Chains A and B, each alone.
Chain A
Amino acid sequence: MKLPMIASVIAMRWFSVVALRLPLINSPVMLVIAVSLVVGLLMVLVFRAVSDQKAIRAAKDQLKAHLLAVRLFQDQLPVVMQSYGRILRGTARYIRLAFKPLLLVILPITLLIVQLDRYLGWMPLQHAQPFLVRVRAVSPDALNEVSLELPREMALSAPAVHLPADSEVVWRVVAEINGTYNINVAAAGETFSKQVVVSQDLARISPTRRRDRFWERLFTSGEPALPTNGPIQSIEVAYPPRNIDLVIFESNWIIVFFVLSILAGFVFKSILGIEI
């Protein structure tokens, strides 16, 4: 029974590592569509493997029966009210049955979304396009010692702005050519680097490097943690957020993924005869 779970995790990993290299889906729209289809399929397979299909089918059938009862016996108010009560109880039972498999698919899906969000949540920086680098220190006093060291391909386009109230200092930077760079922030005799991606392509992006807790870092950073006792709390590069353009509307990729993966799931569940 663990096999479908393992298979789904491997498949997700494969997608995040290998599929992105394929030219056909080196486009955010295509990638979201492809991932939604595959995830929709995998989820229904996992759901089938880990759920009590017989009980779910029975719960759904009971719900449908009570709904039909409302229609069939509509002139008898006590019967109708009784059916409403049964519908509510049936819905609770169905949700309880769906909850167990749901728990089992949430974890891999969450991890997958975190991974995909690195690619699809933000756009890489464009050359000649100014962007902000924001460093948060542990205290306003530490701001005086903070400096920014840029690679040759980048330059400051404005002087640093100190925000003592927030213990922050902000630089406006511009990159001259595409590439993946490390910018260095020096403070109290130590140097801390931060990755900056300047590209036209789909690329893995980590907007923040931070020293905070593991779970928070898991969802917001793709880089190693800053030293816990160091003078810097976080280094953030302001990447522009990405919207997926589906011609008729534009939206965050997660919403598109939500809609498409559900549609795909419903199609696959019908084809494969899976009760959800």
Chain B
Amino acid sequence: MKWPIAPAVRKPGLLNLVPVLVVVIGLVLLFPVRSEAYAGPGAGFAVLSSFWTLFVAFLYSVYAFLTWPFRHVLRLLRRRKAYGKAQVTRAIILGFDGMDPELADRFMQEGKLSHLAKLRDQGTFLPLRTTCPAISPVAWSTFQTGVNPGKHNIYDFLARDLSSYLPFLSSAQIRGPKRRLRIGEYSVPLGKPEIKGLRRGTPFWHWLGKAGIFCSVIRVPVTFPPEKFPGVLLSGMCVPDLKGSQGTFCFCTTRGAGDKFREGGVRIPIERHGSVFRSYIPGPEDPLATNSGSGLRVDFELRADLRHNQARIEVDSQKFTLKIREYSEWIPVKFKAGLGFTARGICRFYVKQLSPEVEVYVTPVNIDPGRPDLPISHPVTYSIYLAKLFGPYATLGLAEDTWALNEEVLDDQAFLAQCYANHEDRERMLFDALDKTPQGLCVCVFDTTDRVQHMFWRYLEDDHPAARKVPRDQRPSVIEDLYRRMDDLIGRVMDQIDDKTLLLAVSDHGFKSFTRCVNLNAWLHQNGYLALNSGKSESGDWFQDVDWSRTLAYTMGLNGLYLNLKGREREGIVEPGTESETLKNELRTKLNGLVDPASGGIGITGVFDCDAVFAGPYVDNAPDLIVGYGAGFRASWDSVTGRVTTQLFEDNTKAWSGDHCIDPRLVPGVLFCNRKIAEEKPAIVDVAPTILKLFGLGLPTYFDGKPWTVAPEPSK
């Protein structure tokens, strides 16, 4: 699918005069005398700018050449340690978030994935056991650290605050500066915001880097904030947008106030002033505001040209023309606070319609990679380097706006265009990293596989409740096309590798249909484990109206079930020890095998005790039980946000129609390799020790994964 963008601005026609001017100026220069020896600042700029570039390059060259012998000796010393016993000179790991082994196998059988089939036939294709729970941040954290969640501290996208029962992002915390100076109406921050990574453990590329093996790591989830190591890294999933959220789109419309979006977006009114429509993009909180809730904004104007089905948009003194149902390029926007404070971001505009109503979708405002306000890469210059090389790109962790499609702000086509535009950017980054990493490790994770399967699984099944509006003969084969694209990418990577290179294609989990929602909070309520305030039969989000003094257990997030433990939760009532163990066993027994009366399917196929599945210093932060939903089921949208409803099971009619946050045994990922791997049941936790071993490094004792036995050469 092509990414539609606004047409390029025409070059000035005056350049047609150039040949004439060349002749005239040539004649002038034939007779040089004093006064025309200097041809003005234009020449000065050109000379100075190009000279400056060459001068800086020259300085770098001198520095590089002078220091190169020393660095080379150091590197050799370190590399001897690393490459001395290495079986490979380069390892390439392509991560395809959510690539499903069953689907891959099916498409390979049908002859649709020739490159993956080649890897299968000449090397390895196996299901890759995922983590418990089978959630991306959990699985990718295990992938990079080689340990179970009890040692890396990530159990879900969200964790809960024990004092308030409210959620917070499990991977990173961003706090404003502690000290502020009050000047009149302003509260000036003294210092930088504090960004704290919450994932523990050491990514395996740190070990490689220390041994002198260069690593390029691109968009691996849960790498924000980026950690210092000898290599380059661009952070992936969990990088926030400029508002600090995980992605808040903006839908500007002239329609009257509609329903509030459930999640992920805000509706902004467009005001009409004659032929001009005015609206704004909401931004981050004003850093100088004395009271919270006063957000910054960037205004924009739109002039509709109905005759040509296009609009002229002016934002931040930039003007561009946009056809209906086309995305703009990335537009830089600057949110201005007082006293010269600004926040810079980039976003894309999409004009949905101009008549009878004007509707404009604006992507979440991403951190500008060329001028990042928060560190999104290591070193900081790496994101700038990529932005200069390829132009601006999406930096938000969850860059594909699934919420906008879920809320029907975007349609299928617009969503896919967004996904594949981001994917193409990622491909460019990958191939540049391959170019820059002739030896060492190159890891790149592609999210498109996850997002597209989440949103288009409905078209794989005849009777998915989310696809009932679309006639069967009109359902596009989006997922098959997705797998073909990934296969094509793997083919291009295979063309670039030699026999000394190890190629791994892995996914963190597989996929299953999501047709039925389970509100576990409703079940807990109906079965006497969760109490509401008197007179209430339902609660609002985040346990509004829950009576904690009578609540034994609750659930929030995708798979976690928590006991309301005394001494741990603010209003805990379950005594730790025998009482809590008894309660856990009781819940496990009752929930395991829970049947959906409407469909007859088993809603829950496994409930896992955290004490049995996790081990490590951060087990105390884990949910007490992990709920493994059956195939076709998942936690309901309400249950995820801590809402108690009356309905236990309901149809999932949202575009988000496939999922993996279920029983981990049902959704293994994939493992493709260009060498034979002698392992029957490989797991994602084994990747880190395997790579270290292939580079000849010793393994840290705390690793939970075991290295695979990999054939020394690719099979022919």
Contact = CB atoms under 8 A, between A and B. Distances in A.
A261 B40 contact: yes
Interface string B1-43: 0000000110111110110011011011011011111111111
A133 interface: no
Contacts of B30: 215
B296 to A, nearest CB: 21
Interface in A231-276: 254, 257-258, 261-262, 264-266, 269, 273, 276
A50 interface: yes
A107 interface: yes
A272 B121 CA distance: 60
Max count, chain A CB within 10 A of own CB: residue among B33, B34, B44, B381:
B44
B273 to A, nearest CB: 26
Contacts of A154: none
B56 interface: yes
**Do most interface residues of chain B lie in helix, strand or loop, or is the interface mixed?**
helix
Contact of A104 (B17, B45, B382): B17
Given A98-B46, A103-B21, A261-B44, A67 B56 contact: yes
Contacts of A100: 15, 18
A50 B12 contact: yes
Contacts of A103: 18, 21-22, 25
B500 to A, nearest CB: 16
A102 B42 contact: yes
B60 interface: yes
Interface in A23-40: 39-40
B49 interface: yes
A75 B28 CA distance: 50
B711 interface: no
B31 A70 contact: no
Contact of B436 (A58, A67, A71, A79): A79
B388 A102 contact: no
Interface string A101-130: 111111101100110010001000000000
B41 A265 contact: yes
Contact of A258 (B44, B57, B75, B439): B44
B76 to A, nearest CB: 11
Given A101-B42, A261-B40, A261-B41, A1 B12 contact: yes
A183 interface: no
Contacts of B13: 1
Interface stretch (A14-22, A87-95, A156-164, A169-177): A87-95
A87 B54 contact: yes
B211 interface: no
B261 interface: no
A109 B56 contact: no
Contacts of B295: none
A91 B55 CA distance: 11
A110 B46 contact: no
Nearest to B67: A74
**Do most interface residues of chain A lie in helix, strand or loop, or is the interface mixed?**
helix
Given A76-B214, A87-B57, A91-B54, A106 B40 contact: yes
B53 interface: yes
B388 A62 contact: yes
Nearest to B16: A1
A65 interface: yes
A192 interface: no
B60 A67 contact: yes
Interface residues of B, number: 62
Contacts of B14: 1-2, 5, 49-50, 104
Contacts of A78: 438
Contacts of A74: 64, 71
Given A72-B385, A219-B36, A262 B57 contact: no
Contacts of A191: none
A88 B61 CA distance: 12
Contacts of B688: none
B35 A265 contact: no
B284 interface: no
A114 B64 contact: no
A5 B28 CA distance: 19
Max count, chain A CB within 10 A of own CB: residue among B42, B49, B75:
B42
B526 to A, nearest CB: 58
A106 B39 CA distance: 5
A276 B45 contact: yes
B28 to A, nearest CB: 6
Interface in B381-407: 381-382, 384-389, 391
Interface of B: 8-9, 11-15, 17-18, 21-22, 24-25, 27-28, 30-31, 33-46, 48-50, 53-54, 56-57, 60-61, 64, 68, 71-72, 75, 214, 232, 317, 379, 381-382, 384-389, 391, 435-436, 438-439
14 contacts: A47-B45, A63-B53, A64-B388, A70-B61, A104-B18, A107-B24, A110-B25, A110-B28, A110-B39, A113-B36, A254-B34, A254-B38, A262-B48, A265-B45
Given A75-B214, A94-B49, 14 more contacts: A52-B11, A70-B60, A71-B60, A73-B214, A74-B64, A77-B72, A87-B54, A102-B46, A106-B40, A110-B25, A215-B28, A265-B41, A265-B44, A276-B49
* 4 tightest A-B CB contacts, nearest first: A109-B40, A65-B388, A65-B389, A98-B46
